[in-house]
Chains A and B, each alone.
Chain A
Amino acid sequence: MSVQSQVAPTSIGMSRLHDGRRLLRAVLPALSLALIILAIWALNPRAISYFGLTLMLSLAVPVALATVGQMMVMAVNDLDLSIGSFVGLVGCVTATWLRDEPLIGVLILVGLVLAYMLVGAMIHLRNLPSIVVTLGMFFVWQGLAILVLPKPGGHAPDWLHGLMAVKTPLVPFPIVAALVIGIVAYVGLMRTSYGVILRGAGGNPVAVSRAGWSLLRGKMIMFGLAGFCGVLAGMALIGLTTSADANLANGYTLLSIAGVILGGGEFVGGRVSPIGAVIGALTLTLAGSLLNFMHISPDWQVAGQGAILIVVLAARTLINRAGVSA
């Protein structure tokens, strides 16, 4: 409940407090990433080098792309449980059709993005819970992936493999790629005038439609962008692994949701942060390496991932509270 006064002196004080809290909230994801890097550095200083980071972060590019895709959907108050098997399907298509028959491959991938837009349209028009629809789509994509590639195999197109193995000067390629992804998503969603409409559709859909904007169009665009990011993620993944498997990326669904949340995003209300989401994805990717360096027994590796997630979120809560009392 709102309690502060509308009388000027108090409200200025309040807004300054809010500013501080928002800043702190925005910096949190970066802090947790820094902490993980610091921990890795303390355990193994040599890991924090050009080659070490390239190696540890190699999978960060597809994860970051999938996370940004998930964020698009979360920005309009939906959740995409299907992105994991979708990335897997794209991988299978990339390792088969895109290599053997590039034209058909491209057409299939475009078709997949259109399918995502259709799913968004259906969710909006029938007022459906996205969790269930995308849960169904998870099976659909997985089934299609198995049909495309019944057994693990296939080969990445050479150009794609070459692209993912690019050596950028000074800064490792995954970091450059993550930066580019984050900045493009940030400018597109947070700075453009239409990005405002898209986020507004998550914050107060009724208000946005009363102002004369089409919610259907907004939802289709956001799902389309999610599909596009998913396609890029699948291609990037195959560029790294060089061969595909229908179940290669099933874990990306939960990874991407966790990444968005770690990055300061929320499930409802259109509150998302593209830069934060990319940082969240990097944090999750590095968490795996940290556990390796800590010589955690394989039995407890999974628990370690869960624990890191819990610790980071707990820290966020603590700092949020400190921010309130500051």
Chain B
Amino acid sequence: MSQSPVVIQVEGVAKSFGAVRALDGVDLAIATHECVGLIGHNGAGKSTLMHVLAGTLTPDKAAIQVNGDAQPGYGIELAHKLGIRCVFQELSLCPNLTVAENARILHPALRGFGWRRRAGALIKAKLDEVFPGHGLSADAVVSDLAIGQRQMIEIARAFTVTSEPLRLVILDEPTSSLDGHTAAQLFAFIRRSVEAGLSCILISHLLGEILGTSDRVVVMRDGRVVTSGPTASFDRNKLVAAMGGAEAHSGAVTAATPSTGLVRVRIRPKRQPDGRELVAREGEVIGLAGLAGHGQTDLLLAVFDAAGQLKSGQAEVTEPVALVAGDRQSDGVFPLWSIAENIGVGSLKNLRRGLLISEAAEDELAAQWQKRINIRTPDMRHSILSLSGGNQQKALFARALGSDARIVLMDDPMRGVDIGTKLDVYDLVRGEARAGRTFLWYTTEMDELSYCDRVYVFRNGVIAADLMRSEVSEDSVIGASFAEVG
């Protein structure tokens, strides 16, 4: 093994997608015993850089050195051989295979007689190590698992070792589907691995995760590294400033008086044992909190489905509903359409002039929302896929808010969105609420609850607590999320 402290070093990495310069001459070096936190707004080039490091994307220009040796033909195979792994933002497990079989995919060495047993043991041991008490079986088929569980498997798999060495693991938004408890387990494991000599790159939009886990922070903006330094020299505000985005914010917004408006939504979760129900009135922003996947999305979907019918058994929804999806790819975006069409699909009836849909009206609606929500594109008739993730999310907001729905459901829509976009949207939500709209907002980010008039904390599919605005705090929400279990 080389004594060089540098695991991988890249210089002058450049990569363009058409006219967009995703990377514009990036230099980066990762040492052993080091966890580097990488932050930046959406579109800053983080994910592209990680794809280059993992060998899944060939840069237009770059000098790559691994362990001090130049690697001219760097690609997937070489990256594997040299021990560089990546947990991509979009999960890369095969849903039709078992956990053990997915481990086999990553390891050419798992072959021959008894490979299945060895693969199972390998992944099981790593899961036990990273996420003690995970309760997962190596024989489970991945499609039967929740998204958080899949993410756990994917992470554990990246740390398994067979014939090839393991030097650097890149984690791109690894906690996007994990709850706080599992995320903490992961960060503890990363620290242990780094002490033991491994290197890590951690990408996250949650600055707390970066500040709490990494040794060094690298900030990217517009395809370049703009700042880099020991984590201790940064704090939250400094990081936000370095990213060049919006000012750091402190959550609190102008206090709203408890609403006495008309009841828009009244719903009881299916298995609610007591008389608790969720009530949302005109002009209210209602938060749905708790650990990820404890019935919040189900409740939103129940409200969504009940909106069609006037009176359904479980729910009462008095006005039209629109939903902002959290999982853009699977629940939101129509990939073959332009941005304007993606927005207009929420208001097809209103766009009709006579018998036919008017494209001029559609353009007008799109232009109006481009201005209001600041969608960054030269032309709203461009493909929706030409937008960065955050801007796609804005288009989905525009679809919901541009419709005539009076109730807007938000299914944790800020997952993996940069702070600038978030602040734009927070303002918009408060503004629309003042104008009389009702919001049901499922969120996994504590900060966002401070924008809500009232928060319902979910546990195991039912409402565990019902907090007034003044009662909402990290302690009260976490307390309600975990009660009884501990």
Q: In this assembly, does A180 line the interface, its C-beta being within 8 Å of a C-beta of chain B?
A: no
Q: In this assembly, does A126 line the interface, its C-beta being within 8 Å of a C-beta of chain B?
A: no
**A270–B96 touching, CB < 8 Å:** yes
Cβ < 8 Å to A, chain B residues 257-314: 291-295, 297-298, 301
Q: Nearest-CB distance from A75 to chain B (Å)?
A: 9
Q: Which of these, B88, B134, B295, contacts A3 with CB under 8 Å?
A: B295
Nearest chain-A residue to B94 (Cβ)? A203
Q: Which of these, A6, A202, A204, A211, contacts B106 with CB under 8 Å?
A: A211
Q: Which of A9, A204, A206 has the most CB of B within 10 A?
A: A204
Cβ < 8 Å to A, chain B residues 87-143: 88, 92-97, 101-102, 104-106, 108, 110-112, 115-116, 133-137, 140-141, 143
**B105–A3 touching, CB < 8 Å:** no
Given the complex of chains A and B, what is the CA–CA distance between A123 and B169 in angstroms? 34
**B140–A199 touching, CB < 8 Å:** no
Q: In this assembly, does A179 line the interface, its C-beta being within 8 Å of a C-beta of chain B?
A: no
A-B Cβ contacts below 8 A, count: 119
**B135–A12 touching, CB < 8 Å:** yes
Q: In this assembly, does A15 line the interface, its C-beta being within 8 Å of a C-beta of chain B?
A: yes
Given the complex of chains A and B, what is the CA–CA distance between A9 and B460 in angstroms? 11
Q: In this assembly, does A193 line the interface, its C-beta being within 8 Å of a C-beta of chain B?
A: yes
Q: Which of these, B93, B291, B331, contacts A5 with CB under 8 Å?
A: B291
**B92–A196 touching, CB < 8 Å:** no
Which residues on the B side are within 8 Å of A269 (C-beta)?
A: 95-96, 143
Q: Which of these, A18, A193, A203, A206, contacts B144 with CB under 8 Å?
A: A18
**A10–B460 touching, CB < 8 Å:** yes
Q: In this assembly, does A169 line the interface, its C-beta being within 8 Å of a C-beta of chain B?
A: no
Q: In this assembly, does A31 line the interface, its C-beta being within 8 Å of a C-beta of chain B?
A: no
**A8–B135 touching, CB < 8 Å:** yes
**B134–A204 touching, CB < 8 Å:** no
**B141–A6 touching, CB < 8 Å:** no
Q: Which of these, B77, B92, B147, contacts A207 with CB under 8 Å?
A: B92
Given the complex of chains A and B, what is the CA–CA distance between A191 and B97 in angstroms? 12
Given the complex of chains A and B, what is the CA–CA distance between A213 and B115 in angstroms? 18
Q: Nearest-CB distance from A198 to chain B (Å)?
A: 11
Cβ < 8 Å to A, chain B residues 156-189: 178-179, 182
Q: Which of these, A1, A22, A204, contacts B94 with CB under 8 Å?
A: A204
Which residues on the B side are within 8 Å of A22 (C-beta)?
A: 141, 144
Q: In this assembly, does B76 line the interface, its C-beta being within 8 Å of a C-beta of chain A?
A: yes
Q: Which of these, B105, B178, B292, contacts A200 with CB under 8 Å?
A: B105
Given the complex of chains A and B, what is the CA–CA distance between A300 and B138 in angstroms? 50
Q: Which of A196, A199, A203 has the most CB of B within 10 A?
A: A196
What 3 A-B pairs come out closest when comparing CB atoms? A203-B94, A207-B92, A8-B135
- A-B pairs with beta carbons under 8 Å apart, 9 shown: A2-B147, A6-B293, A193-B112, A193-B115, A196-B97, A203-B97, A211-B106, A212-B77, A212-B108
List 16 extra interface pairs beyond A5-B460, A204-B95, A210-B88, CB under 8 A: A1-B297, A1-B301, A1-B331, A3-B295, A6-B182, A7-B291, A11-B146, A15-B137, A18-B144, A193-B110, A203-B95, A203-B97, A206-B92, A210-B76, A213-B105, A270-B96
Q: Which residues of A contact B (CB under 8 A)?
A: 1-12, 14-15, 18, 22, 191, 193-194, 196-197, 199-200, 202-204, 206-213, 269-271
Q: Which residues of B contact A (CB under 8 A)?
A: 54, 56, 76-77, 80, 88, 92-97, 101-102, 104-106, 108, 110-112, 115-116, 133-137, 140-141, 143-149, 152, 178-179, 182, 291-295, 297-298, 301, 327, 331, 460-461, 485
